[in-house]
Amino acid sequence: MEKVKQRVIIENISPGVNDGEFAAKVVLGEKVKVEADIFLDGHDLITAKLLHRKKGEQEWRGASMYHMMNDRWRGWFLAEELGWYEFTIEAWLDEFKTWTHNLKKKVDTGVDVSIELLAGAQIIKDSMNEATEKNALLEYESTLADESKPLESRIETAFDEDLAKLMHKYPVRKNPIRYERIIPVEVDRKRAAFSNWYEFFPRSAKLDGQTHGSFKDMIELLPYIAGMGFNVLYLPPIHPIGITNRKGRNNSLNPGKDDPGSPWAIGNKDGGHKSIHPELGTLDDFKELIEESHKEDMEIALDIAFQCSPDHPYVKEHPEWFKKRPDGSIQYAENPPKKYEDIYPFDFECDDWENLWEELKSIFEFWIEQGVKIFRVDNPHTKPFRFWHYVINDIKKEHPEVIFLAEAFTRPKVMNQLAKLGFNQSYTYFAWRNTKEGLQEYLTQLTQTEMKHFFRPNFWPNTPDILTEYLQSGGRPAFMNRLVLAATLSSNYGIYGPAFELVENRAREFGSEEYLDSEKYQLRAWNLDEKHSLKHYIKRVNKIRAENPALQSMENLVFHPVDNEFIIAYSKQTNDGKNLILVLVNFDPFHTHSGWINLQLADIAIKPGESYQVYDLLGDSWHIWTGAHNYVELNPHTSPAHIFRIRRKVRTERDFDYFM
Amino acid sequence: MEKVKQRVIIENISPGVNDGEFAAKVVLGEKVKVEADIFLDGHDLITAKLLHRKKGEQEWRGASMYHMMNDRWRGWFLAEELGWYEFTIEAWLDEFKTWTHNLKKKVDTGVDVSIELLAGAQIIKDSMNEATEKNALLEYESTLADESKPLESRIETAFDEDLAKLMHKYPVRKNPIRYERIIPVEVDRKRAAFSNWYEFFPRSAKLDGQTHGSFKDMIELLPYIAGMGFNVLYLPPIHPIGITNRKGRNNSLNPGKDDPGSPWAIGNKDGGHKSIHPELGTLDDFKELIEESHKEDMEIALDIAFQCSPDHPYVKEHPEWFKKRPDGSIQYAENPPKKYEDIYPFDFECDDWENLWEELKSIFEFWIEQGVKIFRVDNPHTKPFRFWHYVINDIKKEHPEVIFLAEAFTRPKVMNQLAKLGFNQSYTYFAWRNTKEGLQEYLTQLTQTEMKHFFRPNFWPNTPDILTEYLQSGGRPAFMNRLVLAATLSSNYGIYGPAFELVENRAREFGSEEYLDSEKYQLRAWNLDEKHSLKHYIKRVNKIRAENPALQSMENLVFHPVDNEFIIAYSKQTNDGKNLILVLVNFDPFHTHSGWINLQLADIAIKPGESYQVYDLLGDSWHIWTGAHNYVELNPHTSPAHIFRIRRKVRTERDFDYFM
């Protein structure tokens, strides 16, 4: 029989990803809320302490935890620096707290407590060992134990606040228990959790579809992109492009001699993953682009695609890094029956895997040195999980400011695993969730399950690979409502432009999600001043995001029922309740829809019967609503969406109308 | 950098209680369904194996797992013996399966696969090491590798079923991974999961309220109790009762000289927990009661309350087992401001705790030796968790047939912990869930969360301590509908009789849940033949439970919406779908309620528009219903509940009406 006087149980800790196997993600400056079930048998009281430290520190810092309800406790610590923190929890049966608690009940009902006071004196005595304020404690103890003193003054002493403070400072921690695991937390910078992405092919930067664009041309476009409110400019691969088996326009197998090829077929005689495609410019040009983008409060994100064209220097220098077919040829990429003969995947499990992994890591390091701090990683799910775990964690040790976005469109558990391993943001299924039920279910999963601790969604209505049927068929209203959904449901979102703002919706063929004349295989002409451009609408939406902190988080999402399945309604608000946004979107890009919203008043701290202002930040109009049930109507051809800011009344009807 | 070629992830295993820290509970003969998320990066295929064994065995037995959807896998093993089993999971990247899978896609699209066939030959070669059928494999291998043979016959060979079987038998298990924990499963006998309890004070067995009853009198009552369909007869403590500070009628502090005292104040000069109160009879009488009850297919459950009256022999023999107050007196039980001066609790953490724990364990062992296999444990939550873990597990090693019911009415997490530690059944909050919303929420928690794996609810509408306001005020219909709810929602349920069937609903005072003239402190007269007795109703309900296996499980519960908040509707069906029960209960004991039920047809395998028979097993009447929406009406004064058996049509309308 084990000797076991330990009675306290600590379990069900939040935030913990696989119970601390992986780090939970927070942002710099965040109060990290830690919760746990802490309880013991019987009716004795517990004191619990949150122990936390920056990873690598020896000493724990302690923070008090308080009991919320139902044996659930909470404490918090501040994420003051980038990098990893870690925490655990310690708890013990608190004899002094238990004693005063019971004493109070007895005193309140007039029970004689003279013997109980002696028990209290003993508890105080037990606490003296570690105390420096021995004399003060001694005095309390002797008062409680002194039966010659009036009972009333002894009772008063028992409840003395200074005594309580001393006993809290020097607790009698009989058999304290510490949670058996140390839970890591990763602190990222704010942009990991709140970012507006704009994807652009720099080779189209001349905008005429004829002349190859360069970084210099890109610099000219920065004011346009930043002007719409984007703060991450993401470039598809900028490296030399393979010649062998190069793809032509519309993915044809017979390229014209001027066809530039897919930038994802990386490497030729001019270099590989650490080189720049000569027509884009020099490394110095690239650094200038980075600097200029900073002036516009933007960052450059690079696309890292770990694969090679047959002409990549690696193929000659390290043939051992690629898989051979039984006939001795190098295995090209395939997803049967599809073949990608212009691309050789790496063999991550080859005998020389250590050198391969190191070299691939050094590609990130090279670009970090040039000033790139954000990477969009191509198809990470086709590379080993452990490779990412190693590479990302190793890089973050030196560069905790770096942000990795996982471009994995695959099964949910694989996407989750990549996020757990360290990717700071992840692509999602958002593009294909085009019904109210589908979106609500998906967002509930993202924001209400443990996914919220490790998976930061980045919502893209389109990408160079994804022109959904919804966008193909729905015209401008479809683009508008998808934009509003992406930008207000998710705190990270992005568009592939100028295809998006110019409402490019022609697919290569019916039933395909590929763009006609896709920029993946050719230059494109873009008229940024086209009349139907959504640039002003996008600018407005991004301004609303910037000005309303409620839209900069995910966990605060609440759905509100509407009795029309084409209208979705949801709100977000800041913790202090000061910023409260209500969004309504009509999914039907063709017809006006109307319905009654049933606002979940308790979730947004509005009293039944109370009236409040709803101000449409998109349309600059406002209404006074009362209570839960209100009428809404959305015409897709004028305003497929409302983004309301709700202002609760702060004065009564005797004052003038004034809303906070 | 760790050397890691391992790519498969295994997580989220079910059933696992705290990931295998505690045993999941199943019953003898059950197919134990094991599920896990199993996946890897990339597109390769996995083979997974469930490894299981009786605890204590060295060798694992293996069972195939199959992929359900979304990277969730399932396998099962049979719980063939009482006691503990354990399992874990092994999985690996299956090169042969991956190869044939990709080969098929290529062949289907007419790609030249001659080189791929060579790769397949190599995989077969790799498998030969452990194979005894080397020659067969060698032939397959050479056929695939022989480029002189026609391609078609080589392809045919690749998909040969016998080859697939051999490759399944001798898998090339490169880097197989085994789940890091071994998950225990406890196999209980059927009665742990399906039981009908009847609580009776044997001292009232004379039924006249004057003369002290005995085990002999109890034997006379067995046909009455068994006749109602109960199979566990639970007796409050049967030990000598303390004299010091004995409680009188209605919990008064001044007992009359004939007052028998509370049977939970255990022990006097006649003995303690291993003795029998002399007025009840001898140990032989008790054994006779056990034997006679077996003849009625009933078992005796004893109440084990680990506490002592001041007169208990332990108090003299082992004063060190009790806590002292500072004045040297023994600390009585209290829950301030309440005092229980007739009861001394044990000090489970005393210096002599090991001997104390052993002695307490020996109390169970003593009664097990007399033939008792079911224990209802009084207030286990006021004793250390670890005590129960030790005692229950130690006893079950020798006596896996023993059933422990935890009488803990306390906070949810404490109740859960006791169940995890080994209690086979648990009292619940059922008595206080008297609204549709409250019951649905509670039952969803019990049957749809991980609680289903460790917490077996036992539903009691009343106990000697609990006469709810609902029963006090609702008259006979309230008793009827609470009975139906307990007996059909939970596969374990019980009543405290004859108070229940005789509709005893007088409380000691308004606002109290204590019975007036509670049997806890006095004998009671019961007229079992009273006209308003529910005994026939109870018998019918228990017969329905016995005859309909759907009611003998919990996890199969499905709620169906009714547009009247006073009517609850739910169904249960067996795995094979053959037994399907639909229960409707009117919560309002005063008024007739009606409404439309919206049956969740998909959950009960009925097609929209299909008609089916609903047969009321309580009322012996039947209807033909069609589709989801049907009208129901319940008059509490005639039938506050329906228990329908649903029979789906098995012939078309061209045959005569015939229901399976």
Rounded-to-integer distance, Cα B608 and Cα B606, Å: 7
What lies within 8 Å, CB to CB, of B50 at 6+ separation is: B34, B62, B63, B64, B65, B75, B76, B77, B87, B89
Would you tell me the crossing angle of helices A151-158 and A114-127 to the nearest 10 degrees?
40
- Residue with tokens 């004070």, as numbered in its chain: B201
Which residues sit opposite B644 in a β-bridge?
B582, B616
| Type of residue found at A244 | T
Beta-bridge partner residues of A375: A302, A404
- What percentage of chain A has pLDDT greater than the value 90? 84
pLDDT 10s digits, B9-45? 999 999 999 999 999 999 999 999 999 999 999 889 9
The arithmetic mean of pLDDT across residues A37-48, rounded, is: 92
User: How far, CA to CA in Å, does A654 sit from each of A607, A647, A650, B436?
Assistant: 18, 18, 11, 43
Cis peptide bond upstream of A15, omega within 30:
yes
CB-count burial class (<10 Å; 0-12, 13-18, 19+) for A250:
middle
Please check whether residue A397 is in contact with residue A54, taking contact to mean a CB–CB distance below 8 angstroms: no
Residue A620 structure tokens: 């600059």
Q: Any idea which fold A552-659 has?
A: Immunoglobulin-like (2.60.40)
| Euclidean distance between CA atoms A466 and A457, whole angstroms | 17
Give A625 to chain B, closest Cα distance, Å.
Answer: 29
**Residues with Cβ < 8 Å from B478, sequence gap 6 or more?**
B470, B471, B505, B589
Rounded Cα–Cα distance for residues A217 and A281 (Å): 10
Q: 20-39 in B: which are within 8 Å (CB) of A?
A: 37, 39
Query: Which position among B217, B292, B378, B519 bears the catalytic label?
Result: B378
Helix, strand or coil for residue A572?
Answer: strand
Q: How far apart are CA B365 and CA B388, in angstroms?
A: 14
Q: Which helix (H) or strand (E) holds B475?
A: helix B469-489
- Helices A95-108 and A161-169 pack at an angle, to 10 degrees, of 160
Q: Indicate the pLDDT class of residue B172, thresholds 50, 70 and 90.
A: confident
Report pLDDT for B366.
98
Phi-psi region of A307 (alpha: psi -120 to 50; beta: other; left: phi over 0): beta
- If you count residue pairs, one on A and one on B, with CB atoms under 8 Å apart, how many are there? 130
* pLDDT at res. A5: 64
Residue-level pLDDT at B5: 64
Cα B433 to Cα B438: distance, rounded to the nearest angstrom: 5
Question: Range(s) for CATH 3.20.20.80 in chain A?
Answer: 190-238+276-306+352-546
In the sheet that holds A72-78, the strands lie side by side as A8-14, A31-40, A72-78, A66-69
Taking alpha carbons only, the member of B404, B399, B347, B350 closest to residue B378 is B404
Calpha distance B460→B230 (Å, rounded):
13
Number of H helices, E strands in chain B: 15, 30
pLDDT digits (tens, 9 = 90+) for B64-98: 999 999 999 999 999 999 999 999 999 999 999 99
Chain B residue whose CA is closest to A118:
B326
Are A386 and B4 inside 8 Å of each other by CB?
yes
Average pLDDT over residues A551-575: 96
**Chain B contacts of A2, Cβ < 8 Å?**
386, 390
Q: Which helix (H) or strand (E) holds A166?
A: helix A161-169
Asked if the peptide bond before residue A561 counts as cis, ω within 30 degrees of 0, the response is no
Kindly state the DSSP code that residue B323 receives in the 8-state scheme: P
Contact in structure between B567 and B585 (CB atoms under 8 Å): yes
Any idea of the CA torsion for B500, B505, B506, B507, to the nearest 10 degrees?
A: 90
Q: pLDDT per residue over B243-264, tens digit each? A: 999 999 999 988 999 999 999 9
> Is the ipTM here above 0.85?
yes
Q: Chain-wide mean pLDDT for chain A?
A: 94
B150 by DSSP, 3-state: which?
coil
pLDDT one-digit tens code per residue, A83-125: 999 999 999 999 999 999 999 998 998 888 888 899 999 999 9
Q: Is B524 helix (H, G, I), strand (E, B) or coil?
A: coil
- Surface of A (410-439) touching B: CB under 8 A: 411-414, 417
Q: Does pLDDT of B226 surpass 70?
A: yes
Least confident of A314-318, A511-515, A643-647, B147-151: B147-151
HSE of A518, CA atoms in CB hemisphere, 13 A: 24
Averaged over A467-483, what is the pLDDT?
A: 97
pLDDT value, residue A650: 59
Residue B293 has pLDDT above 70, yes or no: yes
**What does the pLDDT average to over B176-182?**
93
Closest CA of chain A from B49, distance in Å: 20
Q: Would you state the pLDDT for residue B303?
A: 98
The CA distance from A33 to A46, in Å, is: 19
**Closest Cβ–Cβ partner in A5, A70, A335 for B43:** A335
Dig out the tokens for B425 from the structure.
Answer: 């059944």
B407 is catalytic: yes
Check CB contact under 8 Å for A122 and B326.
Answer: yes
Q: Quick one: closest CA in A to B100, which residue?
A: A336
pLDDT in tens, A344-380: 999 998 999 999 999 999 999 999 999 999 999 999 9
Q: In 3D, which of B146, B145, B159 has the Cα closest to residue B108?
A: B159
Q: What is the reported pLDDT for A43?
A: 86
β-sheet bridge partners, residue B567? B586
Buried b (16+ CB within 10 A) or exposed e, A269-294: eebbbebbbeebbeeebbebbbebbe
The 10s digit of each residue's pLDDT in B524-555 is: 999 999 999 999 999 999 999 999 999 999 99
Q: What is the pLDDT of residue A133?
A: 86
Distance CA A252, CA A274 (A): 28
C-alpha to C-alpha distances, B630 to A608, B564, B600, nearest whole angstrom? 35, 13, 12
Per-residue confidence at B660, pLDDT binned at 50, 70, 90? Answer: very low
Predicted confidence at residue A651, as pLDDT, reads 53
Q: How far apart are CA B91 and CA B105, in angstroms?
A: 24
d(CA B614, CA B3): 64
Give the A window 332-351 contacts with B, CB below 8 Å.
335-337, 339, 349
* Confidence band, pLDDT 50/70/90 cuts, at residue B117: very high
- The answer to whether A492 touches A425, Cβ cutoff 8 Å, is yes
Contact B261, B521 (CB under 8 A): yes
The structure tokens listed for A165 are 């403070």
A381/B108 CB distance under 8 A: no
A88 — phi, psi (to 5°)? Answer: -150, -175
CA dist B117 and A33 (Å) reads 57
Report whether B493 contacts B487 (CB < 8 A). Answer: yes
At A657, the pLDDT band (50, 70, 90 cuts) reads very low
Task: Please judge whether B115 and A327 are an interchain contact, meaning their C-beta atoms are less than 8 angstroms apart.
Answer: yes
The per-residue b/e assignment along A100-124, b for 16 or more CB within 10 angstroms, e otherwise, is bebbeebbeeeeebeebbbbbbebb
Res. A529: pLDDT tops 50: yes
Question: Which value, in Å, is the radius of gyration of the alpha carbons in chain A?
Answer: 31
pLDDT of residue A513 exceeding 80, the answer is yes
The mean per-residue pLDDT over the stretch A388-395 comes to 96
How far A501 CA sits from the closest chain B CA (Å)?
Answer: 34
Number of other CB atoms surrounding residue B590 within 10 Å:
13
Q: Mind giving me the DSSP string for B543-584? A: HHHHH-GGGG-STT-EE--BSSTTEEEEEEE-TTSS-EEEEE
Q: Which tens digit of pLDDT belongs to each residue from B312-356? A: 999 999 999 999 988 888 999 887 777 888 899 999 989 999 999
- The shortest C-alpha distance from A381 to chain B (Å) reads 5
* Residue length of chain B: 660
Question: Is B61 in contact with B96 (CB distance < 8 Å)?
Answer: no
With H, G, I as helix, E, B as strand and everything else as coil, classify residue A143: helix
Predicted confidence at residue A652, as pLDDT, reads: 52
Mapped onto helix, strand or coil, the DSSP state of residue B412 is helix
* pLDDT reported for residue B651: 54
Percent of chain B whose predicted confidence (pLDDT) is above 90: 84
The pLDDT of residue B653 is above 60:
no
Instruction: Identify whether the C-beta of residue B33 lies closer than 8 Å to the C-beta of residue B76.
Output: yes
Confidence at B401, pLDDT banded by 50, 70, 90: very high
**Percentage of chain B surpassing pLDDT 70?**
97
Strand A425-426 and strand A403-407: the pairing is parallel
Residues B352 and B279 sit within 8 Å (Cβ to Cβ): no
B535: helix, coil or strand?
helix
Of the pLDDT bands very low, low, confident and very high (cuts 50, 70, 90), residue B657 is very low
Among B135, B45, B175, B154, smallest CA distance to B98 is for B45
A362 to chain B, any CB pair closer than 8 A? The answer is no
pLDDT higher than threshold 80 for residue A6: no
Q: What is the mean pLDDT of residues B95-102?
A: 92
Q: What are phi and psi of A528, to 5 degrees?
A: -70, -10
H helical segments located in A276-421 = 283-295, 313-317, 353-370, 385-398, 412-421
Judged by average pLDDT, the poorest of A144-153, A486-495, B405-414, B472-481 is: A144-153
Enter the DSSP assignment of B649: B
Domain with CATH 2.60.40.10 in chain B: 9-187
Report which residue type is found at A419. A
pLDDT of the residue at B659:
46
Contact B411 A70 (CB under 8 A): yes
Q: Into which CATH architecture does domain A190-238+276-306+352-546 fall?
A: Alpha-Beta Barrel (3.20)
pLDDT value for A170: 85
Q: How confident is the model at residue B1 (pLDDT cuts 50, 70, 90)?
A: very low
Nearest to B540 by CA among B641, B464, B443: B641
Element (H, E) at B314: helix B313-317
The answer to whether the beta carbons of residues B639 and B618 sit under 8 Å apart is yes
Residues forming CATH 2.60.40.1180 domain(s) in chain A: 552-659
Domain A9-187's class? mainly beta
